[in-house]
Amino acid sequence: MNASAVPTRVAVVGGGIAGLAAAHALLSPEAPADGSPSTPDVAFDVTVFEAQDRLGGKIRTSPFAGIAAVDEGPDAFLARLPWATGFARRLGLGDSLVSPARGSAAVWWHGLQPIPEGLLLGLPTDVMKLARTKLISWPGKIRAATEVLRGATSLESDSIGAYVRARFGDEVHERLVDPLVGSIYAADTDRFSLTAVPQLADLAGKGRSVLMTARRAPAPAASDGPVFYAPAGGLGQLVDVAAARIVELGGDVRVGAPCTTLEADGAGWRVDGEHFDAVVLACPAAQAARLLAASSVAAGLSRIEYADVVMVTLAVPAAAWPERLRGLSGYLVPKPMQHLVTAASFGSQKWTHWRAPDTGSGEQVVLRISLGRDGLPVMHLDDEQLVAAALGEVSTQIGVDLQPTAVRLTRWQRAFPQYRPHHHRTVADLAADLPDGLVLAGASYHGIGIPACIRSAEQAAGMLRQRTRAALA
Protein backbone atom coordinates (compact mmCIF):
# COMPACT_ATOMS: atom_id res chain seq x y z
CA MET A 1 0.00 0.00 0.00
CA ASN A 2 1.22 3.50 -0.70
CA ALA A 3 1.32 4.81 2.86
CA SER A 4 1.63 8.43 1.80
CA ALA A 5 -1.82 8.18 0.19
CA VAL A 6 -3.32 8.01 3.68
CA PRO A 7 -2.80 11.33 5.42
CA THR A 8 -2.79 10.99 9.16
CA ARG A 9 -4.44 13.85 10.97
CA VAL A 10 -2.35 15.21 13.83
CA ALA A 11 -3.35 17.96 16.24
CA VAL A 12 -0.55 19.91 17.89
CA VAL A 13 -1.77 21.58 21.08
CA GLY A 14 0.39 24.66 21.73
CA GLY A 15 2.03 27.07 19.31
CA GLY A 16 5.21 27.71 21.30
CA ILE A 17 8.55 26.72 19.83
CA ALA A 18 7.97 23.04 20.67
CA GLY A 19 4.58 22.93 18.94
CA LEU A 20 5.93 24.71 15.88
CA ALA A 21 9.00 22.47 15.68
CA ALA A 22 6.79 19.38 15.99
CA ALA A 23 4.44 20.58 13.24
CA HIS A 24 7.39 21.45 11.03
CA ALA A 25 9.04 18.06 11.58
CA LEU A 26 5.78 16.24 10.73
CA LEU A 27 5.31 18.21 7.53
CA SER A 28 8.85 18.82 6.42
CA PRO A 29 10.69 16.77 3.83
CA GLU A 30 14.00 17.76 5.45
CA ALA A 31 15.89 15.66 8.00
CA PRO A 32 15.65 16.77 11.62
CA ALA A 33 18.82 16.81 13.75
CA ASP A 34 18.13 13.39 15.32
CA GLY A 35 18.77 11.62 12.03
CA SER A 36 15.20 10.41 11.41
CA PRO A 37 14.37 9.71 7.76
CA SER A 38 14.50 12.78 5.57
CA THR A 39 11.83 11.77 3.09
CA PRO A 40 8.54 11.26 4.87
CA ASP A 41 6.94 7.97 3.89
CA VAL A 42 3.83 8.92 5.81
CA ALA A 43 1.91 12.07 4.98
CA PHE A 44 0.58 14.09 7.89
CA ASP A 45 -2.22 16.57 7.89
CA VAL A 46 -1.28 18.89 10.76
CA THR A 47 -3.33 21.43 12.72
CA VAL A 48 -1.70 23.63 15.37
CA PHE A 49 -4.01 24.93 18.11
CA GLU A 50 -2.66 27.97 19.95
CA ALA A 51 -4.71 29.39 22.83
CA GLN A 52 -3.33 32.92 22.66
CA ASP A 53 -3.81 35.38 19.82
CA ARG A 54 -0.14 35.07 18.90
CA LEU A 55 2.33 32.22 18.38
CA GLY A 56 5.62 31.73 20.19
CA GLY A 57 4.59 31.08 23.80
CA LYS A 58 7.58 32.16 25.91
CA ILE A 59 9.22 33.61 22.81
CA ARG A 60 8.05 37.12 22.19
CA THR A 61 9.88 39.92 20.39
CA SER A 62 8.54 43.44 20.02
CA PRO A 63 9.71 46.99 19.27
CA PHE A 64 11.09 48.93 22.22
CA ALA A 65 12.39 52.49 22.57
CA GLY A 66 12.72 52.95 18.80
CA ILE A 67 14.53 49.60 18.31
CA ALA A 68 12.69 47.31 15.91
CA ALA A 69 13.02 44.05 17.86
CA VAL A 70 13.86 43.54 21.53
CA ASP A 71 13.05 40.14 23.06
CA GLU A 72 10.69 40.06 26.04
CA GLY A 73 11.64 36.50 27.04
CA PRO A 74 14.55 34.42 25.74
CA ASP A 75 17.04 36.37 23.61
CA ALA A 76 19.35 33.56 22.39
CA PHE A 77 19.87 29.81 22.27
CA LEU A 78 22.97 27.74 22.94
CA ALA A 79 25.04 27.24 19.80
CA ARG A 80 26.81 24.04 20.93
CA LEU A 81 23.55 22.03 20.93
CA PRO A 82 22.50 21.19 17.36
CA TRP A 83 18.70 21.32 17.54
CA ALA A 84 17.90 25.04 17.49
CA THR A 85 20.72 25.92 15.10
CA GLY A 86 19.67 23.07 12.81
CA PHE A 87 16.02 24.16 12.94
CA ALA A 88 16.94 27.77 12.14
CA ARG A 89 19.10 26.61 9.23
CA ARG A 90 16.40 24.35 7.84
CA LEU A 91 14.07 27.36 7.93
CA GLY A 92 16.58 29.33 5.85
CA LEU A 93 17.68 31.53 8.76
CA GLY A 94 21.29 30.26 8.82
CA ASP A 95 22.70 33.49 7.39
CA SER A 96 20.61 35.63 9.73
CA LEU A 97 22.03 34.14 12.94
CA VAL A 98 23.96 36.61 15.07
CA SER A 99 25.79 36.17 18.36
CA PRO A 100 26.03 38.40 21.39
CA ALA A 101 29.36 40.08 22.16
CA ARG A 102 31.42 38.00 24.58
CA GLY A 103 31.39 40.18 27.67
CA SER A 104 32.25 39.10 31.16
CA ALA A 105 29.55 38.59 33.77
CA ALA A 106 29.55 39.35 37.49
CA VAL A 107 27.89 38.24 40.70
CA TRP A 108 26.62 40.94 43.07
CA TRP A 109 28.07 40.23 46.48
CA HIS A 110 28.54 43.53 48.36
CA GLY A 111 29.50 44.98 44.98
CA LEU A 112 29.97 43.58 41.48
CA GLN A 113 32.46 40.71 41.63
CA PRO A 114 33.75 39.22 38.37
CA ILE A 115 32.88 35.54 37.96
CA PRO A 116 36.14 33.62 38.46
CA GLU A 117 37.57 31.51 35.64
CA GLY A 118 37.67 27.70 35.68
CA LEU A 119 34.01 27.12 36.52
CA LEU A 120 31.57 24.77 34.90
CA LEU A 121 28.12 26.24 35.57
CA GLY A 122 29.60 27.58 38.81
CA LEU A 123 31.25 24.31 39.81
CA PRO A 124 35.00 24.86 40.37
CA THR A 125 37.20 22.70 38.17
CA ASP A 126 40.45 24.36 39.31
CA VAL A 127 40.38 25.62 42.85
CA MET A 128 43.51 27.78 42.35
CA LYS A 129 41.39 30.01 40.11
CA LEU A 130 39.17 30.81 43.10
CA ALA A 131 42.11 32.18 45.08
CA ARG A 132 41.77 35.82 44.04
CA THR A 133 37.99 36.20 44.01
CA LYS A 134 36.33 38.34 46.67
CA LEU A 135 33.14 36.36 46.17
CA ILE A 136 34.27 33.54 48.45
CA SER A 137 35.76 34.06 51.92
CA TRP A 138 39.07 32.41 52.86
CA PRO A 139 37.33 29.79 55.00
CA GLY A 140 35.04 29.19 52.00
CA LYS A 141 38.04 28.78 49.66
CA ILE A 142 39.73 26.36 52.06
CA ARG A 143 36.50 24.38 52.34
CA ALA A 144 36.29 24.23 48.53
CA ALA A 145 39.94 23.13 48.25
CA THR A 146 39.28 20.15 50.57
CA GLU A 147 36.87 18.73 47.98
CA VAL A 148 39.65 16.43 46.75
CA LEU A 149 39.91 14.86 50.21
CA ARG A 150 36.24 14.12 50.71
CA GLY A 151 34.74 10.67 50.33
CA ALA A 152 32.28 9.96 47.54
CA THR A 153 28.97 11.86 47.68
CA SER A 154 25.83 9.88 47.00
CA LEU A 155 23.90 11.11 43.97
CA GLU A 156 20.70 9.52 45.29
CA SER A 157 19.14 12.81 46.45
CA ASP A 158 19.45 14.13 42.84
CA SER A 159 19.57 17.67 44.25
CA ILE A 160 22.13 20.09 42.83
CA GLY A 161 22.30 21.91 46.16
CA ALA A 162 22.80 18.77 48.24
CA TYR A 163 25.62 17.61 45.94
CA VAL A 164 27.48 20.93 45.64
CA ARG A 165 27.15 21.82 49.33
CA ALA A 166 28.53 18.38 50.29
CA ARG A 167 31.48 18.63 47.90
CA PHE A 168 32.46 22.32 47.97
CA GLY A 169 30.60 23.88 50.91
CA ASP A 170 27.77 26.37 51.19
CA GLU A 171 29.62 29.42 49.85
CA VAL A 172 30.48 27.86 46.48
CA HIS A 173 26.91 26.68 46.21
CA GLU A 174 25.19 29.91 47.27
CA ARG A 175 27.50 32.39 45.54
CA LEU A 176 28.45 30.52 42.34
CA VAL A 177 26.47 27.42 41.38
CA ASP A 178 23.05 28.54 42.57
CA PRO A 179 23.23 31.99 40.90
CA LEU A 180 24.59 30.57 37.64
CA VAL A 181 22.27 27.59 37.29
CA GLY A 182 19.40 29.20 39.19
CA SER A 183 19.34 32.23 36.88
CA ILE A 184 19.01 30.02 33.79
CA TYR A 185 15.92 28.22 35.12
CA ALA A 186 14.60 30.69 37.77
CA ALA A 187 15.34 27.79 40.09
CA ASP A 188 16.12 27.09 43.69
CA THR A 189 18.89 24.59 43.01
CA ASP A 190 18.47 22.95 46.42
CA ARG A 191 15.20 21.68 44.93
CA PHE A 192 16.34 21.16 41.33
CA SER A 193 17.39 17.87 39.72
CA LEU A 194 21.12 17.31 39.23
CA THR A 195 20.40 14.80 36.46
CA ALA A 196 18.45 17.48 34.60
CA VAL A 197 21.62 19.57 34.14
CA PRO A 198 23.75 17.16 32.09
CA GLN A 199 27.00 19.17 32.31
CA LEU A 200 26.92 19.01 36.12
CA ALA A 201 25.59 15.45 36.24
CA ASP A 202 28.37 14.23 33.89
CA LEU A 203 31.08 15.75 36.04
CA ALA A 204 29.47 14.48 39.25
CA GLY A 205 28.99 11.00 37.82
CA LYS A 206 32.57 10.48 36.60
CA GLY A 207 34.34 9.92 39.91
CA ARG A 208 34.59 10.64 43.60
CA SER A 209 36.07 14.15 43.30
CA VAL A 210 35.06 16.85 40.83
CA LEU A 211 38.46 18.50 41.05
CA MET A 212 40.32 15.21 40.42
CA THR A 213 38.01 14.33 37.53
CA ALA A 214 38.52 17.77 36.00
CA ARG A 215 42.30 17.49 36.45
CA ARG A 216 42.38 14.07 34.74
CA ALA A 217 40.18 15.19 31.85
CA PRO A 218 40.31 18.96 31.59
CA ALA A 219 37.42 20.56 29.73
CA PRO A 220 38.40 21.29 26.12
CA ALA A 221 39.70 24.83 25.73
CA ALA A 222 36.87 27.24 25.02
CA SER A 223 36.53 27.54 21.27
CA ASP A 224 36.43 30.89 19.58
CA GLY A 225 33.09 29.91 18.05
CA PRO A 226 29.87 31.51 19.19
CA VAL A 227 28.32 30.36 22.47
CA PHE A 228 24.85 31.70 21.64
CA TYR A 229 22.87 32.44 18.51
CA ALA A 230 19.69 34.33 17.71
CA PRO A 231 18.19 35.49 14.43
CA ALA A 232 19.02 39.14 13.77
CA GLY A 233 15.32 39.97 14.05
CA GLY A 234 15.14 38.44 17.53
CA LEU A 235 13.77 35.01 18.43
CA GLY A 236 10.34 36.12 17.25
CA GLN A 237 11.74 35.81 13.73
CA LEU A 238 12.27 32.07 14.30
CA VAL A 239 8.61 31.78 15.30
CA ASP A 240 7.34 33.85 12.35
CA VAL A 241 9.41 31.99 9.77
CA ALA A 242 8.52 28.59 11.25
CA ALA A 243 4.79 29.42 11.20
CA ALA A 244 4.98 30.66 7.60
CA ARG A 245 6.84 27.50 6.55
CA ILE A 246 4.27 25.25 8.27
CA VAL A 247 1.47 26.96 6.36
CA GLU A 248 3.48 26.69 3.11
CA LEU A 249 3.84 22.95 3.76
CA GLY A 250 0.07 22.63 4.07
CA GLY A 251 -0.33 22.91 7.85
CA ASP A 252 -3.28 24.65 9.46
CA VAL A 253 -2.18 27.10 12.18
CA ARG A 254 -5.01 28.38 14.37
CA VAL A 255 -4.37 31.17 16.88
CA GLY A 256 -6.88 32.24 19.53
CA ALA A 257 -7.86 28.56 19.44
CA PRO A 258 -7.53 27.04 22.91
CA CYS A 259 -8.01 23.31 23.01
CA THR A 260 -10.54 22.80 25.81
CA THR A 261 -11.50 19.13 25.54
CA LEU A 262 -9.56 16.07 24.54
CA GLU A 263 -11.44 12.79 24.37
CA ALA A 264 -10.49 9.36 23.06
CA ASP A 265 -12.96 8.27 20.35
CA GLY A 266 -11.80 4.71 19.72
CA ALA A 267 -10.01 5.49 16.44
CA GLY A 268 -8.02 8.42 17.82
CA TRP A 269 -8.80 11.63 19.66
CA ARG A 270 -11.40 14.38 19.54
CA VAL A 271 -9.97 17.85 20.05
CA ASP A 272 -12.97 20.03 20.86
CA GLY A 273 -15.10 17.57 18.91
CA GLU A 274 -12.84 17.36 15.83
CA HIS A 275 -11.30 13.96 15.03
CA PHE A 276 -7.52 13.49 14.86
CA ASP A 277 -5.53 10.27 14.61
CA ALA A 278 -2.87 11.52 17.02
CA VAL A 279 -2.14 14.53 19.25
CA VAL A 280 1.14 16.21 20.20
CA LEU A 281 0.66 17.88 23.57
CA ALA A 282 3.13 20.77 23.27
CA CYS A 283 1.49 22.90 25.94
CA PRO A 284 2.87 23.15 29.50
CA ALA A 285 2.25 20.04 31.67
CA ALA A 286 -0.27 21.90 33.85
CA GLN A 287 -2.51 22.50 30.79
CA ALA A 288 -1.96 18.94 29.54
CA ALA A 289 -3.07 17.72 32.99
CA ARG A 290 -6.30 19.69 32.67
CA LEU A 291 -7.00 18.25 29.22
CA LEU A 292 -6.31 14.72 30.45
CA ALA A 293 -8.11 15.11 33.78
CA ALA A 294 -9.89 11.78 33.33
CA SER A 295 -6.64 9.88 32.62
CA SER A 296 -4.16 8.24 35.00
CA VAL A 297 -1.36 10.57 33.81
CA ALA A 298 -3.15 13.73 34.98
CA ALA A 299 -1.85 13.51 38.54
CA GLY A 300 1.76 13.10 37.39
CA LEU A 301 1.45 15.97 34.92
CA SER A 302 -0.06 18.29 37.51
CA ARG A 303 2.80 17.57 39.94
CA ILE A 304 5.26 19.43 37.67
CA GLU A 305 5.66 22.84 39.31
CA TYR A 306 6.54 26.20 37.76
CA ALA A 307 8.23 29.46 38.71
CA ASP A 308 6.89 32.84 37.61
CA VAL A 309 9.18 35.66 36.53
CA VAL A 310 8.81 39.27 35.50
CA MET A 311 11.08 40.94 32.98
CA VAL A 312 11.50 44.73 33.21
CA THR A 313 13.17 46.28 30.17
CA LEU A 314 14.59 49.79 30.45
CA ALA A 315 16.14 52.31 28.07
CA VAL A 316 18.52 54.71 29.80
CA PRO A 317 20.66 57.49 28.33
CA ALA A 318 24.00 56.10 27.10
CA ALA A 319 25.64 59.28 28.41
CA ALA A 320 24.73 58.24 31.96
CA TRP A 321 26.16 54.74 31.52
CA PRO A 322 29.55 54.60 33.29
CA GLU A 323 32.76 53.45 31.62
CA ARG A 324 33.41 50.91 34.42
CA LEU A 325 30.35 48.90 33.34
CA ARG A 326 31.30 48.70 29.68
CA GLY A 327 32.30 45.19 28.56
CA LEU A 328 30.09 43.63 31.25
CA SER A 329 27.17 41.57 29.92
CA GLY A 330 25.31 41.74 33.23
CA TYR A 331 25.25 40.28 36.70
CA LEU A 332 23.49 37.75 38.91
CA VAL A 333 22.23 38.26 42.44
CA PRO A 334 22.73 35.28 44.79
CA LYS A 335 19.80 34.37 47.06
CA PRO A 336 21.28 35.71 50.32
CA MET A 337 21.49 39.15 48.60
CA GLN A 338 18.16 39.01 46.73
CA HIS A 339 15.11 41.16 47.33
CA LEU A 340 13.14 40.76 44.07
CA VAL A 341 15.81 41.20 41.38
CA THR A 342 17.63 37.98 40.47
CA ALA A 343 19.68 39.20 37.48
CA ALA A 344 20.29 42.16 35.22
CA SER A 345 21.42 41.86 31.63
CA PHE A 346 23.06 44.80 29.88
CA GLY A 347 21.35 44.19 26.55
CA SER A 348 23.08 46.85 24.48
CA GLN A 349 26.46 45.47 25.51
CA LYS A 350 25.44 42.01 24.35
CA TRP A 351 23.60 42.96 21.18
CA THR A 352 25.00 45.81 19.12
CA HIS A 353 21.62 46.35 17.43
CA TRP A 354 19.95 46.95 20.84
CA ARG A 355 20.92 50.61 20.99
CA ALA A 356 18.06 53.03 20.82
CA PRO A 357 18.51 55.77 18.23
CA ASP A 358 18.99 59.37 19.29
CA THR A 359 15.53 60.90 19.05
CA GLY A 360 16.45 64.14 20.81
CA SER A 361 17.51 62.92 24.23
CA GLY A 362 20.71 61.20 23.06
CA GLU A 363 21.47 57.53 22.37
CA GLN A 364 19.91 55.05 24.82
CA VAL A 365 21.13 51.71 26.14
CA VAL A 366 18.84 48.80 26.97
CA LEU A 367 18.84 46.79 30.22
CA ARG A 368 16.73 43.75 31.02
CA ILE A 369 16.04 43.03 34.68
CA SER A 370 14.63 39.69 35.92
CA LEU A 371 12.52 39.51 39.06
CA GLY A 372 11.20 36.43 40.85
CA ARG A 373 12.06 32.76 40.83
CA ASP A 374 11.05 29.48 42.44
CA GLY A 375 10.40 30.42 46.09
CA LEU A 376 10.43 34.19 45.40
CA PRO A 377 6.91 35.07 44.19
CA VAL A 378 6.38 38.35 42.33
CA MET A 379 3.04 38.05 40.54
CA HIS A 380 1.06 39.50 43.47
CA LEU A 381 2.85 42.86 43.03
CA ASP A 382 1.45 45.52 40.68
CA ASP A 383 3.41 46.93 37.76
CA GLU A 384 4.37 50.09 39.62
CA GLN A 385 5.81 48.12 42.56
CA LEU A 386 7.75 45.82 40.24
CA VAL A 387 9.26 48.67 38.21
CA ALA A 388 10.13 50.56 41.41
CA ALA A 389 11.85 47.44 42.79
CA ALA A 390 13.78 46.90 39.55
CA LEU A 391 14.95 50.51 39.40
CA GLY A 392 15.72 50.82 43.10
CA GLU A 393 17.61 47.55 43.47
CA VAL A 394 19.62 47.81 40.25
CA SER A 395 20.48 51.52 40.83
CA THR A 396 21.93 50.58 44.22
CA GLN A 397 23.74 47.52 42.94
CA ILE A 398 25.49 49.23 40.02
CA GLY A 399 25.85 52.63 41.67
CA VAL A 400 23.99 54.49 38.90
CA ASP A 401 20.79 56.47 39.48
CA LEU A 402 18.78 54.90 36.63
CA GLN A 403 16.42 57.44 35.01
CA PRO A 404 14.77 55.43 32.22
CA THR A 405 13.30 57.09 29.15
CA ALA A 406 11.28 53.95 28.34
CA VAL A 407 10.07 51.04 30.50
CA ARG A 408 8.41 47.76 29.50
CA LEU A 409 7.16 45.09 31.87
CA THR A 410 6.44 41.51 30.81
CA ARG A 411 4.82 39.04 33.18
CA TRP A 412 5.76 35.43 32.53
CA GLN A 413 3.37 33.33 34.52
CA ARG A 414 4.54 29.71 34.77
CA ALA A 415 7.71 30.83 33.04
CA PHE A 416 9.97 27.93 33.92
CA PRO A 417 9.02 24.35 34.84
CA GLN A 418 10.89 23.32 37.96
CA TYR A 419 12.60 19.97 37.53
CA ARG A 420 12.46 18.64 41.08
CA PRO A 421 14.89 15.87 42.07
CA HIS A 422 14.04 12.67 40.13
CA HIS A 423 12.15 14.65 37.48
CA HIS A 424 13.44 12.14 34.88
CA ARG A 425 11.61 9.33 36.71
CA THR A 426 8.39 11.35 36.81
CA VAL A 427 8.67 11.94 33.05
CA ALA A 428 9.53 8.30 32.28
CA ASP A 429 6.45 7.20 34.27
CA LEU A 430 4.30 9.72 32.39
CA ALA A 431 5.55 8.53 29.02
CA ALA A 432 4.89 4.90 29.97
CA ASP A 433 1.31 5.65 31.08
CA LEU A 434 0.36 7.95 28.23
CA PRO A 435 -2.70 6.73 26.33
CA ASP A 436 -2.13 5.61 22.72
CA GLY A 437 -2.06 8.35 20.12
CA LEU A 438 -0.71 11.03 22.46
CA VAL A 439 2.87 12.33 22.67
CA LEU A 440 4.36 15.02 24.90
CA ALA A 441 6.78 17.76 23.82
CA GLY A 442 8.15 20.97 25.24
CA ALA A 443 9.83 22.54 28.22
CA SER A 444 8.00 20.61 30.92
CA TYR A 445 9.71 17.30 30.18
CA HIS A 446 13.20 16.79 28.73
CA GLY A 447 14.93 20.17 28.96
CA ILE A 448 13.86 23.79 29.33
CA GLY A 449 16.10 25.66 26.86
CA ILE A 450 14.99 26.27 23.28
CA PRO A 451 17.32 23.61 21.77
CA ALA A 452 15.96 20.95 24.17
CA CYS A 453 12.36 21.97 23.38
CA ILE A 454 13.03 21.60 19.65
CA ARG A 455 14.73 18.23 20.22
CA SER A 456 11.75 16.96 22.22
CA ALA A 457 9.39 18.14 19.48
CA GLU A 458 11.38 16.46 16.71
CA GLN A 459 11.55 13.27 18.76
CA ALA A 460 7.77 13.39 19.32
CA ALA A 461 7.26 13.80 15.57
CA GLY A 462 9.69 10.92 14.90
CA MET A 463 7.78 8.72 17.34
CA LEU A 464 4.46 9.46 15.60
CA ARG A 465 6.03 8.78 12.23
CA GLN A 466 7.32 5.39 13.40
CA ARG A 467 4.01 4.41 15.00
CA THR A 468 2.06 5.47 11.93
CA ARG A 469 4.42 3.63 9.63
CA ALA A 470 4.04 0.48 11.77
CA ALA A 471 0.24 0.81 11.83
CA LEU A 472 0.06 1.24 8.06
CA ALA A 473 2.53 -1.55 7.24
Ligand X SMILES: Cc1cc2nc3c(=O)[nH]c(=O)nc-3n(C[C@H](O)[C@H](O)[C@H](O)COP(=O)(O)OP(=O)(O)OC[C@H]3O[C@@H](n4cnc5c(N)ncnc54)[C@H](O)[C@@H]3O)c2cc1C
Q: Give the separation between CA 68 and CA 63, rounded to whole angstroms.
A: 5
Task: Kindly state the smallest distance separating residue 309's Cβ from ligand X, in Å.
Answer: 5
Among 8, 10, 11, 17, binds ligand X (CB under 6 A): 17
Q: Mask of contacts with ligand X, 386-425, x by CB under 6 A?
A: --------------------------x--x----------
Q: Which is nearer to ligand X, 182 or 449 (CB)?
A: 449
Among 23, 25, 65, 76, binds ligand X (CB under 6 A): 76
418 Cβ neighbours under 8 A, 6+ residues apart: 185, 187, 188, 191, 192, 304, 305, 306, 307, 374
Q: Mask of contacts with ligand X, 230-269, x by CB under 6 A?
A: ----------------------------xx----------
Going by C-alpha positions, the residue among 416, 299, 390 that lies closest to residue 58 is: 416
Q: Is 284 in the site for ligand X (CB under 6 A)?
A: yes
Task: Kindly state the smallest distance separating residue 286's Cβ from ligand X, in Å.
Answer: 9
Task: Kindly state the smallest distance separating residue 17's Cβ from ligand X, in Å.
Answer: 5
Among 8, 10, 11, 19, binds ligand X (CB under 6 A): 19
Q: Is 439 in the site for ligand X (CB under 6 A)?
A: no
Beta strands in 109-187 (DSSP E): 112-114, 119-120, 123-124
Q: Which is nearer to ligand X, 69 or 136 (CB)?
A: 69
Which amino acid is it at 379? M
Q: Is 88 in the site for ligand X (CB under 6 A)?
A: no
Going by C-alpha positions, the residue among 118, 148, 146 that lies closest to residue 133 is: 118
Q: Is 347 in the site for ligand X (CB under 6 A)?
A: no
279 Cβ neighbours under 8 A, 6+ residues apart: 10, 11, 12, 13, 262, 269, 271, 437, 438, 439
Task: Kindly state the smallest distance separating residue 351's Cβ from ligand X, in Å.
Answer: 12
Among 34, 36, 52, 388, binds ligand X (CB under 6 A): 52
Task: Kindly state the smallest distance separating residue 397's Cβ from ligand X, in Å.
Answer: 20
Q: Is 182 in the site for ligand X (CB under 6 A)?
A: no
Residue count, binding to ligand X (CB under 6 A): 35
φ, ψ for residue 157, nearest 5 deg: -70, -20
DSSP 219: P
Conformational region of residue 470, where left means phi above 0, alpha means psi within -120 to 50, and beta covers everything else: alpha
Among 127, 203, 298, 309, binds ligand X (CB under 6 A): 309
Task: Kindly state the smallest distance separating residue 8's Cβ from ligand X, in Å.
Answer: 20
Q: Give the separation between CA 310 and CA 342, rounded to whole angstroms.
A: 10
Going by C-alpha positions, the residue among 315, 309, 312, 327 that lies closest to residue 106 is: 327
Q: Give the separation between CA 209 and CA 146, rounded to whole angstroms.
A: 10
Residues that bind ligand X (CB under 6 A): 13-19, 49-52, 57-59, 73-77, 258-259, 282-284, 287, 309, 311, 412, 415, 442-443, 448-450, 453
